[in-house]
Structure 1
Amino acid sequence: MTIQEPPPRPGDAPDLPVRVPLVTQPLGLLASLRAARANILSIIPRIATTQPMVSGRTGVRWHMVMDPGAIRRMLLEKVDAYPKSMVTKNLLRPAIGESLFVAEGAHWRWQRRAAAPAFSHRNVAALAPCMTRAAEEACARIEAAGPRAVNMYDEMVRATFDVISDVTFSGDEGFDRAAVHRAVDGYVAEAGKVSLFDMLGFPDWVPRPGRVRSGRALREMKSVADASIEARRKRGLEGVPDLLDLLLAGEDPETRRRMNTGELRDNLLTFIVAGHETTALTLSWALYLCAFDPEVQEAAAAEAREVLGDRAAGAEDVAALPLVRRIVDETLRLYPPAALVSRTALEADALCGREIRPGDTVMIPIYALHRNELLWEAPDEFRPGRFAAAKAVDRYAYLPFGDGPRICIGASFAIQEAVIILATLLARFRFRKVAGKVPAPVMIITLRPEGGVWLEAERR
């Protein structure tokens, strides 16, 4: 029989935001499968928050690494020796092909070089009006809902999808945004669940039932995206370039290679999934935390109102909103959207003095890393002030966007968007908890608030 830490109940720990119940005794293969399908993070042992490394065997040899030096070795010094695990690739390849998120080696490198200019500081700042507009529209919807509880997760998903579709397919009236959104969401819900085949290391050509069921929606989504890309090629640049324009113009400076339609589509779908889902989650959890701690919320609201007055935030305001930025940073620590990453060791190595064999699964449980007692003071508490001091945090102890050469290419885009939308919301509304509505952190592919983030929004 396995024993798990019971989930915290509302009122049990008023000083702590909601947490994932972690395993306190080893799980067997079938128990691990059941737990992973319900919530991937529930396979993390509780001792991962008190140790630098934990190892075990469940079908395959596995290790969880929470030591910053060992993580640096994996993500920076020996990045090619620790590619993404086959489980990760099997989950995502049907939707995003061999895009930046999945590709390895030379195929990844040329794509990264070709795409990098699109995410320069200047280009990201130029896309901010889409974020400002989405913030204004979200405020209008919340105000129109009247003085009642609002599911802020749904609102933030809509706001961030408006942003990513505007910066990706601006002006493309024939692009069915709702269909793409439904297809992406359906794929994550159905196909993102780990199967027994994944845990036993079966190759990706062995069908997974959930991924088969979601195949039709994915094919339709890719067809729509391909048609939009071809139409844009023929139309050419009109006005301010959006993300698709920038990627169409992108070229690897070393090989002069440009992305073909399939490569563009796979990367655009990657950016659509990663560029709205993760930011929506960050904003949803940030609003939950602000309602959880009214004192922090009021301080951030005062900062936002002083900078913004009655207008919505823009790119030029981000640097003037340090507390709002720290709330975003602390939210990403407590509820990182990509809360567990998995690698497969290609060669013999040693991490934290332990033997790593070729074929071993080596995980970085970012959720546990961000709450590790060896690295953080009061790790389960919501303390935005911990990010106030420069270099107060070890670089490899805090990895909301990964690190090394494969650090998330859209990190600055995501931070800018989150600060713009959060500051605008806090300046205009006071958010309060709703009795009996506590979100549960559940990870399938990303760390979602199961049950939604229900808050009362009062106009200031």
Structure 2
Amino acid sequence: MEATDREYPPRVELVTGKWGVFQSLQAARRNLIEIIPEIALHQPIVSGKMGKPWHMLMDPDAIRHVLRDGLENYPKSDVTKNILRPAIGDSMFVAEGAHWRWQRRAAAPVFSHRNVANLAPIMSAAADRSCARIEQHVGRAADMYAEMVTSTFEVISDVTFSGDEGFDREAIHKAIDGYIDSTAKVSLFDVLGLPTWIPRPGRMMSSGGMKAMKSMADKVISSRAPKDDGDVPDLLDLLMAGEDPETKRSMNTSELRDNLLTFIVAGHETTALTLGWALYLCAFDKGVQTRARDEAQSVLQGRTATESDLANLPYIRQIIDETLRLYPPAAFLSRTAKKQDELCDRPITPGDTVMLPVYALHRSRLLWDDPDAFDPDRFAKDKKVDRFAYLPFGDGPRVCIGMSFAVQEAVIILATILSRFKFTRVEGKDPYPVLILTLRPEGGVWLNVEKA
């Protein structure tokens, strides 16, 4: 079949005309992907001005310079910080310079291979509970994105605050959803480059839920007792024991809280999105789903996936990788230049916004063959992908610290579910990708469920 005759999974139609500030703002608040110009799929850099100069990069070498070689010259943009700080303070995701470096060094051992592997039984247990819930929908349609949100929130809360009765998980969940839905949107003040001390009305509206969430986390941290010998430490235990090997500094209560909330907000939302989109794509392509099910059933033989199975589930992992290419949860990164520079032969001046539209990068006509197609074999072992052409977790020194945790969780849950169930699309309910803070399937992922 010719590429032009293929059916493609849902994609966003990008801008082909010239937009003004207010039209761009409306689009950004509705779906940030919609402000990306179509021409970004065909060239390495696109520049313009909206309040102040901006540049979108789709060139791997230039992106490598921004994320790795010239890291200090490209801190996260003020817009990014304004959106994230109400929820996660000055955690390592937002912090810059020395304050970021010591936190990163202190937290790095938390996500060692051994510690992440030790948390796998929690992921396997969540996969089992998810299958029990999905079982109730056999013979009809279910919103599999909502189910994946439930499943991954169980994982992140269990590995973060295990055994803490004072932690109201439902309240935390509602606060996070309210924050993403109403506060994590670009403000006109952001677009115009107004000072950060001017309040953004939308972000003030959900401050009550965020304050309550932080207060609960503080109480859990202050009352946490040491684990008994032999107990598997959770993320809070590991962070509390963490120490920067260079400065010998440990995190205080507010620093622990901000970083834990970062893991909760990012850890469950992004993995739920990956799994929701992956299940949709498997329903979209029956051949892929059958091949994945055959692999999972052959390896698992009716049991739940564990960490020791990961090496034997390469095609499931390829599905996760390709899902992250087509629908990266963090689909738009933004930096602010501090010094004069040059990217793709274009001058960059201090204060310019440098955007990395990951959604466009992953669909670049210059970098990928038939980029809108769903093809997990792009990530087969014999294929090579430029690491700076594929950024689902960012890259460079600030690459997502929880990457191995997220991939392990996604493979365990997806393999277990596909080994037990079959999914088909619901006519007229294909999800549409909408980016506010993360790339969500608008309306959910509704799929028909059958026993495998």
Give the structure-1-normalised TM-score. Answer: 0.96
Residue among 364, 375, 380 paired with 2:372: 380
Residue among 274, 290, 310 paired with 1:318: 310
Name whichever of 144-153 and 87-96 sits farther off: 144-153
CA displacement 1:187-225 (0-9 Å, x = unmatched) = 111111111001111222211111111000110000000
Distance 2:196 2:275 in 1: 34
Question: 2:421 aligns to what?
Answer: 429
Residue among 24, 28, 35 paired with 1:32: 24
Distance 2:54 2:139 in 1: 50
Question: 2:430 aligns to what?
Answer: 438
Task: Quote the offset at 1:457 in angstroms.
Answer: 1.2
Q: Does 1:169 align with 2:161?
A: yes
Task: Quote the offset at 1:27 in angstroms.
Answer: 1.1
Residue among 390, 396, 408 paired with 1:398: 390
Q: Secondary structure at the match of 2:335?
A: strand
Distance 1:146 1:54 in 2: 48
1:183-262 correspondence to structure 2 within 5 Å: 183-232=175-224, 235-238=225-228, 239-262=231-254
Distance 1:213 1:403 in 2: 33
Which letter maps to 2:207?
G
Residue among 399, 405, 408 paired with 1:413: 405
Q: Give the length in aligned residue pairs.
A: 447
Which letter maps to 1:223?
S
Task: Quote the offset at 1:142 in angstroms.
Answer: 0.6
Question: 2:84 aligns to what?
Answer: 92
Question: 1:7 aligns to what?
Answer: none
Q: Secondary structure at the match of 1:355?
A: strand
Distance 1:81 1:372 in 2: 26
**What stretches of structure 1 of length at least 5 have no aligned partner?**
1-11
Q: Does 1:47 align with 2:21?
A: no
Residue among 100, 106, 116 paired with 1:114: 106
Which letter maps to 1:405?
P
Question: 1:8 aligns to what?
Answer: none
Q: Is the 8 A contact 2:92 2:259 kept in 1?
A: yes
Distance 1:144 1:402 in 2: 37
Distance 1:389 1:26 in 2: 42
Q: Does 1:304 align with 2:296?
A: yes
Question: 2:172 aligns to what?
Answer: 180
Distance 2:382 2:112 in 1: 23
Which letter maps to 1:214?
S
Q: Secondary structure at the match of 1:431?
A: strand
Name whichever of 140-149 and 277-286 sits farther off: 140-149
Alpha-carbon RMSD: 1.0
Distance 2:403 2:16 in 1: 34
CA displacement 1:33-85 (0-9 Å, x = unmatched) = 00000001100000111111100111110000000000000001000100000
Residue among 60, 63, 75 paired with 2:55: 63
Which letter maps to 2:45?
M
CA displacement 1:233-258 (0-9 Å, x = unmatched) = xx112321001000000000000000
Any runs of at least 4 consecutive aligned residues in structure 1 with deviations exceeding 6 A, and if so which? none
Residue among 350, 361, 372 paired with 1:358: 350
State, as a whole percentage, how many aligned pairs show the same letter. 66
Task: Quote the offset at 1:13 in angstroms.
Answer: 7.2
**What stretches of structure 2 of length at least 5 have no aligned partner?**
none
Give the structure-2-normalised TM-score. Answer: 0.98
